[in-house]
Amino acid sequence: MINFAMSKEQQMVRKEVAKLVKGVVADAAHDMDEDRDIPGEAIQKAWELGFSISMIPESYGGFGLKDSPMETALILEELACGDMAFALAVMLPSLFIHPVVEMGTDAQKEKYLPLYCGETYKVCTLAMQEPHVGFDPIDLKTTAERRGDAYVLNGKKCFVPGAEEAGHMLVAASLEGENNLFIVPKDVSGMIVGAKEKNLGLYALDTFEILFENCKIPLENRLGGEEGCAYVTLIQKGRVAMAAIGTGVARASLEFAKDYAKQRVQFGEPIVHKQSVAFMLAEMAYEVDAMRLMTWKAASRLEAGKDAVRESYLAKLYAGEMAMKVTDYGVQVMGGHGYIRDYPVERYFRNGRGISILEGMATL
């Protein structure tokens, strides 16, 4: 029997995240977007809930809890329902921490995990996406070459969140035709972080382009050591994470448009009574449910330790398309008001465009 009910633990986590979003994000999201900045105290409050470090073993300073892609998908949806940029910023350290926990050597775990298990939020990140037409995370143009006692990185990355502040980042690169991840510390010679990117959406999230020119790192900085890492698994988790975020953004658009349609009166009755509006809202509702179910299906396979290449790809593909459709409908329901920056639906529309484009911005 298939059971879509959440466990008590999952319900509790979802409730706590929703409480955080209501108290910290709901009233501040517009200002964060306008100011192109997320207050440090807001991120710190989310950090204190321990989302990123819960799976780190207690011996390294974490909580030692079981990794749960399903639970993380729930968290990401709730955070993104408040604001997508905030969701990505809050979970940013997971891009570095989770792969190290799952794929790193004992020496790598011992060296890096305690650095990011403190009470204060610290930035670490992942550089995967590249500024090429038709970017494919499987076909990386950034290369790593072994030269003596070091690996030398060459290539370009873009949409790297938090790159300017990150103490460490994982860099995806091809080594002899095989995709790998490499741990790169801040201020290493040969790594040039460009100016903050000016993107269509996610104004509050700092993303950067990075140039690697003969960037030399020690051999021990290859994630997983000589055996390398399960790079494909990271892609799968990243795609499901973006699908969960897309579901949250679409849900936010639906909820705001629905409430607006109930309150907006024209010709003596709320516009929600008009078939053209009601049908759009109904379509938005079932598409959000479909996005969520596809996300959960992929996340449940990952949680069971199964391959989710197909499920993760389809979940992200569908979420990317439907995030645009649902957020566009949100703008349409509000008419001219939907095009005004005073209302959040235009922000949902701009941010939703990124779901289908961005890779390596979030992980489970």
Is the torsion defined by CA of 68, 70, 72, 78 positive or negative?
negative
Distance between CA atoms of 334 and 328, rounded to whole angstroms? 10
If DSSP codes are grouped into helix, strand and coil, which group holds residue 75? helix
Cβ atoms of residues 173 and 144 within 8 Å: yes
What H or E segment, with its residue span, contains residue 251? Answer: helix 231-263
Of 116, 89, 87, 88, the C-alpha closest to 100 is 116
Residue 58 annotated to the active site: no
CA dihedral 128, 132, 138, 144 (to 10 degrees): -60
**Identity of the residue numbered 45:** K
Beta bridge partner(s), residue 156: 211
Select from 332, 313, 334 the least CA-distant residue to 324: 332
CB crowding 316-340: b at 16 or more within 10 Å, else e: bebbbebbbbbbbbbbebbeeebee
**Is the alpha carbon torsion for 162, 164, 169, 174 positive or negative?**
positive
User: Cβ(17)–Cβ(78) under 8 Å?
Assistant: yes
User: Under DSSP, is residue 149 helix (H, G, I), strand (E, B) or coil?
Assistant: coil
Q: Kindly state the tokens that stand for 287.
A: 């598409």
Give the count of beta carbons closer than 10 Å to the beta carbon of residue 150.
15
Catalytic residues: 359
